[in-house]
Amino acid sequence: MRIAVVGSGMAGLTAARTLSDHGHSVVVVDKGRLPGGRMATTEMVGGARSDKGAQFFTARSPEMTEAVGRWTDVGLVHRWCSGFTRSDGHPRYATSGGMARLMHYLAEGLDVRQSVHVAAVRPTEHGWEMTWPQAHGNPAGSLVADAVVVTTPVPQAAALLDGIAAVPDLAYDATISLTLALSAPASVPSPGGVQLSGDPVWSWIGDNVAKGTSSLPALTLHTTAEFASAHWDDDAGQLMAELVALAVPWTGGAAVVDARLHRWRYATPVEPYPERFCEVAPGLYLAGDAFGGPRVEGAFLSGLAAADRIDVDGPQLLPEPLAASYLDATTGVVTVSNEGAGYPKR
């Protein structure tokens, strides 16, 4: 089957890898410059590295435990700790060199196309068509697939599927991330991560050296959802200055060598969907952490579940009347060519 995956985060790459291993022709497209989505690592001035999104992950399910075992065996992932203020017995895993390294590893050998911002997914008589405009030096294009897995945050999926399928209405909390390269080690107590509750600004402080992301001093600080929404539209320069000042208790007196701000509009789904994926039309699936649970492991389980379902279902032809009504409602998108955007051979 020809399968298109929108999103090269944990859910998308897990679905793509599983389907590709099962012999399907899979293309992954993502609007970002690099694979990983919310599992992203910032290269700082001076050579330090900071995970700016996900900080660690759990492996409570047998599926994730098995995957983490494989990533550990190849030297990518290690057990960081078993909790922060106190041990709860559940291992937290980190990626040596940063989360982006794991995501590059997962993308290896797959047909993953970055800087492709999908504008719409529409039914055609040949299958589901994704289209994207020219951007970042990439030409405009389209791709037709027998099945599409959309792993973007759900409000972004709703925009892609506007008028085509009913998408669950799921809300997300935002977070603002501050990453700092420092001249000397930070002062974050062992094991190098603090989850704060009740703090008016910060929800997380992480020492990137302690968890093996960076060999040079670097901190990651995440704001609470409340702070993020109150300051979402603040001027970037002013916000950065304010947050750097508020980070001083954690910098151990070190000078700030480099500072970066990232606004994650869709950081965490507030109330995930009760199932691991959602088939919104025949052959059209939504997956991601809004379905599997609001964390890396949830995204992984969701991608896996969507892939397993596609494998079992086989090609899902749009029922004739449904296809006809879609095509009537869709002007100018009836016949499509895959020229220049071919699928890899099985």
Ligand X SMILES: Cc1cc2nc3c(=O)[nH]c(=O)nc-3n(C[C@H](O)[C@H](O)[C@H](O)COP(=O)(O)OP(=O)(O)OC[C@H]3O[C@@H](n4cnc5c(N)ncnc54)[C@H](O)[C@@H]3O)c2cc1C
Give contact residues for ligand X (rule: CB under 6 A): 6-12, 29-32, 37-39, 53-57, 117-118, 151-153, 156, 160, 175, 177, 222, 264, 267, 288-289, 294-299
Instruction: Tell me whether residue 32 or residue 252 sits nearer to ligand X (CB atom).
Output: 32
End-to-end CA distance of the chain: 9
Angle between helices 296-313 and 62-73 (to 10 degrees): 110
Locate 75 and state its tokens. 């030297």
User: What would the DSSP string read from start to end of 131-156?
Assistant: EE--BTTBPPEEEEESEEEE-S-HHH
**Phi, psi angles (nearest 5°) of residue 124:** -135, 175
Nearest by Cα to 11 from 312, 305, 313, 309? 305
Which residue number, 54 or 219, has a Cβ lying nearer to ligand X?
54
Residue in the structure block whose two tokens are 């040596």:
96
Residue nearest to ligand X (CB): 37
Nearest approach, Cβ of 145 to ligand X (angstroms)? 14
Tell me whether residue 111 or residue 125 sits nearer to ligand X (CB atom).
111
Minimum Å distance from CB 113 to ligand X?
9
User: Per the structure block, which two tokens stand in for 261?
Assistant: 């701000």
Instruction: Give 158 or 318: the residue with its C-beta nearer to ligand X.
Output: 158
Closest to ligand X by CB, 25 or 152: 152
| Cα 20 to Cα 3: distance, rounded to the nearest angstrom | 9
Min CB(52)–ligand X separation in Å: 7
Name the DSSP letter for residue 248. Answer: G
Least gap, CB of 155 to ligand X (angstroms): 10
Between 25 and 177, CB nearer to ligand X: 177
Query: Rounded to the nearest whole angstrom, what is the least distance from the CB of residue 103 to ligand X in the complex?
Result: 9
Quote the least distance from Cβ 45 to ligand X, whole Å: 21
